[in-house]
Structure 1
């Protein structure tokens, strides 16, 4: 039997390692989701930064490959989908490293980024065939407003109109929507459609959605593409609106109305939007994910009051109803991918004092309680965590009425001044009606830490635990 040279043996070992690497599925598709202002851009920037800059400082001590000295390096590589925008990591880091530092601009569409992470395997079969292994990580960012549209897949135009009518006739939307709804009440749904009239009413409805989102800070914005249209800006498929008088319309007349009537055109465009925009979005992107993190900013809705917080609760419920979960195997990942790990992250944890973090996690769990129970039953690995993707404050103690109290210190976003305060106590459970009068909140938005160089690791809270949960098993 011929004796293999060392070079030949190493080549065969590498080939075997590559084959096993593919067999063991050394690839993770990670979806980063959440509503606007939940911190998706900051999260992805930090996650990439932590991996690229990991070295002797060991700033990811709860990430096993680092803790066990098995992490080698990570680098950005060419993404798979050339037609999808690249996540602007360089632009984000430039914003954070300039003086004065500013938060990076939020993404307005789908973006992707791919990393190759090299490490030493320890417990998996890979350790028998190769000294070094590579995990490919695809990160995808989606506008949260588009996520809410997934619930439309299970609705008819009538059902959607009724749901929007319910929202628009309740505060805080009701007063702002009153004038627009008055125009709809005067619209004859069975007359011949005037495209210019429908376009104007759709534009006014879109302006309402912008007001709800940016002025009131509400979370349920639907259709989401109306305020973040992407490549569909100006297309007739975005020129429809809920007919809020639909419960007054004769059922037979509605069913018999053709596409040239007002109601027929609205229904046709809704169905076209549902099929060509929402469903295609779901098929092209969502079915490929196997790991997911849902980011939630609970602090801003707490600041804004009861109605804003209730809207966040509804939005989280709508998002989670649309996901496809189930235990993952290599076969199912290739032919019917399913998410097998899910994290709920309460962001901006650095904006509250450390003893409040437990309550922040509890509050997130309360927001997703029903969904979490259901997917836990399907044996999905779930974790909730309070994080700060990019830590922008320091903790300390202050004095109030002669007593020492915990405080946060940072550069206030609005004033640009160094601010020290106790922002308030985060409730551990969903607040009752009487809670809002007796528990004022003052969760200030802080500017990012100043003076961080582009090549340095960004300060964070628990990003190492995030990485351990999402990637640790793949790098064992």
Structure 2
């Protein structure tokens, strides 16, 4: 009865406001009323630059939710979902993986990534295009009969993944081609990039001297710019635009990817106009394609590979900060309540997560978390994001590849599988917990090692250890799972 009433009310309200908001909105109201007592939908965006660990996070998160009841393997004392309230209360049931039978969206290849981690003992391949994964999670029943009538039985969790390189492009819509050309050229001249960009800069400078650019030379310049971006990515730098040159996805062989900077001082107006047309077409593609997906999220986890940036030095950390600041301006944040929040979705919960915390002993993970908080103060100095959304920051390891132990002298050390298969004690270095960083002494303090996933596991259903994964899920999903 309640359901019929709400459906009727939805139709009436949809009819009344249809002239103002259009038929689409009215249909959404009807669908929402029809879905009442059936399901609640939550869209989560997993955000992070290349190599931050998005694929591992989604794979481990999905595997843990599907295999909630799987017994812990020997040597693992903590369930990967510990910290998730519903799990800690013993009320979380195994989730169900839903497949898009109509193939309307590219699917996250969970089974291939899971088998790579567990069956083959190697890290999964990086994401090459925008993909989705959908899980159905049973919500606990409400104690009151009326609450049961109006409460959704299940949570439909949609997880969005995409190549981390694409984040760098989210700054482009707010720039003109001339603005971007100047900033991209200036960045290419920075000491940490100058050698990488030298072939492109020399080629376009020679073209400026001749005051003419043939079609063949234009293609050579586009290739030289691509080579420069590829080399910069290999060094761990993230401000590489256009990023689709590196990971084109469905834009493979698109002509609009062939633009490169032509600053005013080169005095090549014809080439500048040609590149500006490609740049503007590319901006429209970003806003229509990525905006269509990115601006309809309910929550977001932003993975920050802070340890790698610290290893690479001050220039890499500065680029990471700049790229993150620009990306945050692209997303829509805002805590929304009430029945109409889904009409104009905004991101209400955000977790900034410093990844690969298992490279550090337990006490240093706390310092890493503090450093991430300090970085957030730099990225969001006006509290713009934090004033509009519930923001948390954590140090995490989606897949914990090491154990943090204490030796006979009371000193913490790590034990994990190295790339050559050996296991031996390793004493990780200290992490600065505040900014600014003393870059002169940091290399002596911070000693990191790359670890391999667990050896091949016969039972692919086995749970794998994680650090603070359950807490992150609780930060993002607590309200929708309660």
What TM-score do you get using the length of structure 1 for normalisation? 0.86
Distance 1:202 1:210 in 2: 12
The question of whether the paired residues in 2 share the 8 Å contact of 1:73 and 1:117 is answered with yes
Per-residue CA deviations over 1:175-205 (Å, capped at 9, x if unaligned) read 2212321221222499665332212111111
> For 1:421, what is the secondary structure of its paired residue?
coil
Cα offset for 1:371?
A: 4.4
The question of whether the paired residues in 1 share the 8 Å contact of 2:39 and 2:153 is answered with no
Answer yes or no: is 1:445 the counterpart of 2:464.
no
Counterpart of 2:61 in structure 1 is 47
| Range with bigger deviation, 266-275 or 32-41 | 266-275
> For 2:295, what is the secondary structure of its paired residue?
helix
1:70-85 counterparts in 2 under 5 A? 70-79=91-100, 82-85=103-106
Q: 1:300 aligns with which of 285, 301, 308?
A: 308
| Range with bigger deviation, 435-444 or 339-348 | 435-444
The question of whether the paired residues in 1 share the 8 Å contact of 2:335 and 2:388 is answered with yes
Q: 1:28 aligns with which of 42, 58, 66?
A: 42
Distance 1:283 1:95 in 2: 31
The question of whether the paired residues in 2 share the 8 Å contact of 1:188 and 1:262 is answered with no
The question of whether the paired residues in 2 share the 8 Å contact of 1:121 and 1:475 is answered with no
Counterpart of 1:106 in structure 2 is 126
Unaligned 5+ runs, structure 1: 1-8
| Range with bigger deviation, 119-128 or 229-238 | 119-128
Distance 1:66 1:405 in 2: 33
Answer yes or no: is 1:155 the counterpart of 2:210.
no
The question of whether the paired residues in 2 share the 8 Å contact of 1:306 and 1:433 is answered with no
Q: 1:241 aligns with which of 238, 244, 260?
A: 260
Change over 3 Å in CA distance of 1:125–1:191 after alignment to 2: farther
Counterpart of 1:3 in structure 2 is none
Distance 1:312 1:49 in 2: 30
Per-residue CA deviations over 1:230-277 (Å, capped at 9, x if unaligned) read 12222211111011x42454xxxx8xx5xxx212111111111111x2
Answer yes or no: is 1:472 the counterpart of 2:462.
no
Q: 1:410 aligns with which of 404, 413, 416?
A: 416
Change over 3 Å in CA distance of 1:77–1:437 after alignment to 2: closer
> For 1:129, what is the secondary structure of its paired residue?
helix
1:59-74 counterparts in 2 under 5 A? 59=79, 60-74=81-95
What TM-score do you get using the length of structure 2 for normalisation? 0.85
Distance 2:347 2:129 in 1: 22
Deviating beyond 6 angstroms after TM superposition, the runs of 4 or more aligned structure 1 residues are 123-126
Change over 3 Å in CA distance of 1:321–1:439 after alignment to 2: farther
Distance 2:472 2:161 in 1: 16
| Range with bigger deviation, 425-434 or 34-43 | 425-434
Answer yes or no: is 1:137 the counterpart of 2:134.
no
Q: 1:263 aligns with which of 261, 265, 272?
A: 272
Counterpart of 2:18 in structure 1 is none
Answer yes or no: is 1:89 the counterpart of 2:118.
no
> For 2:181, what is the secondary structure of its paired residue?
helix
Distance 2:296 2:143 in 1: 27
The question of whether the paired residues in 1 share the 8 Å contact of 2:49 and 2:165 is answered with yes
Change over 3 Å in CA distance of 1:125–1:158 after alignment to 2: farther
> For 2:132, what is the secondary structure of its paired residue?
strand
Counterpart of 2:240 in structure 1 is 221
Distance 2:426 2:62 in 1: 31
